[in-house]
């Protein structure tokens, strides 16, 4: 069984940054296969992780619908699986799958069923699955199988952050999937500054400090693997992983 961690939150709150940090920690701590899924149509997780797949799941879906999937005449299901497998960008210790643009108004039920089945199967081949979602959690709301073990709602420590975290929490409670554990991760927190009013009503998982080097790294297009392990934001995500999933850092004997 794989353990899934879904990351959600308002635009710009740090979902992609925290997803990439989680992937790095999971690789370093477990040495086991990690699947990173970029479920944001404006896909950026590849940049933070330093890999870019050649194609997206949406492109495979559209090619299937347009009857342009190579080999589909002989065996549609196998051709689909092959194409999705090809969409997987493989890197050291992890693979990245980019979902791409959501579907248009046509009914894609048959293709979506294939896709869901494949993703469920593929997910089981990895020990950990990290999903970087878009604000509306469209990807999660379209899934009907497989529970999400951990849903981390990322929010900035501002009144707008509190309001949106509350909304996303409510939205997550109405998702058609089982979410085993959910809560808010306050990101870009300044030390000594209390969380805004209303934050105390929300289930807080932890805090990640505002880290100017993390911001600078993104401005220069650096990957998460280039960050110094001692950076406070990266260390805070590591501490969260230890607390929430019981995954402590590896210690040298």
User: How far apart are alpha carbons 95 and 49 in whole angstroms?
Assistant: 10
Subset of residues 227 to 246 that bind ligand ATP, contact rule: CB under 6 A:
233
Q: CA 85 → CA 60, 93, 132, 149, distances in Å?
A: 10, 16, 19, 24
Q: Does 17 bind ligand ATP (CB under 6 A)?
A: yes
Task: For residues 71 and 79, give the distance between their C-alpha atoms in angstroms, rounded to a whole number.
Answer: 6
Binding mask 180-199 for ligand ATP (x = CB under 6 A): -------xx-----------
Residue 111 or 227: which CB sits closer to ligand ATP? 227
Q: Does 16 bind ligand ATP (CB under 6 A)?
A: yes
Query: Taking CA 48 as the corner, what is the angle to CA 44 and CA 49, rounded to the nearest 5 degrees?
Result: 110
CB 94, min distance to ligand ATP, A? 17
Residue from 3, 10, 14, 16 binding Mg ion (CB under 5 A): 16
Which of Mg ion, ligand ATP, none does residue 214 bind (CB under 5 to 8 Å by kind)? ligand ATP
> Quick check: helix, strand or coil at residue 52?
coil
Q: Find the part of the chain contacting ligand ATP (CB under 6 A) among 14-22, 71-79, 95-103, 190-198.
A: 14-22
Rounded CA separation 174/213 (Å): 37
43 binds ligand ATP (CB under 6 A): no
Question: What is the torsional sign of CA 164, 170, 176, 182?
Answer: positive
By CB under 6 A, is residue 218 in contact with ligand ATP?
yes
Residue 150 has which token pair? 């951990």
How much of the chain is in helix, strand and coil states, percent to nearest 5? 40, 20, 40
Closest of 199, 225, 174, 209 to residue 47, by C-alpha: 225
Give the nearer residue to Mg ion in terms of CB position, either 2 or 16. 16
Total residues at the site for ligand ATP (CB under 6 A)?
19
Is 136 a binder of ligand ATP (CB under 6 A)?
A: no
Query: Using CB under 6 A as the criterion, which residues of the chain lie in contact with ligand ATP when the complex forms?
Result: 9, 11-17, 40, 44, 187-188, 208, 210-211, 214-215, 218, 233
Q: Point out which residues bind Mg ion (CB under 5 A).
A: 15-16, 44
């Amino acid at each position: 069984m794989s353990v899934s961690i879904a990351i959600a939150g308002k635009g710009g709150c740090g979902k992609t940054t925290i997803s990439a940090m989680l992937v790095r920690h999971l690789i370093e701590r477990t040495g086991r296969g990690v699947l990173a899924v970029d479920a944001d149509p404006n896909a950026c997780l590849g940049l933070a992780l330093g890999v870019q797949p050649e194609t997206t799941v949406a492109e495979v879906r559209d090619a299937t619908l347009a009857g342009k999937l190579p080999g589909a005449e002989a065996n549609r299901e196998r051709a689909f699986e092959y194409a999705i497998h090809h969409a997987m960008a493989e890197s050291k210790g992890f693979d990245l799958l980019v979902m791409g643009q959501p579907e248009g108004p046509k009914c894609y039920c048959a293709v979506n069923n294939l896709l869901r089945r494949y993703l469920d199967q593929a997910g089981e081949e990895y020990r950990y699955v990290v999903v970087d979602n878009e604000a509306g959690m469209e990807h999660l709301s379209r899934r009907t199988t497989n529970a999400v073990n951990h849903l981390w709602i990322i929010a900035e420590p501002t009144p707008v952050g509190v309001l949106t975290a509350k909304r996303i929490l409510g939205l997550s409670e109405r998702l058609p999937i089982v979410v085993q554990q959910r809560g808010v991760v306050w990101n870009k927190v300044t030390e000594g500054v209390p969380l805004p009013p209303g934050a105390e009503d929300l289930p807080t998982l932890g805090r990640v400090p505002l880290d100017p080097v993390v911001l600078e790294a993104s401005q220069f297009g650096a990957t998460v693997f280039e960050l110094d392990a001692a950076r406070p934001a990266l260390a805070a995500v590591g501490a969260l992983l230890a607390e929430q999933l019981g995954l402590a850092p590896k210690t040298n004997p």
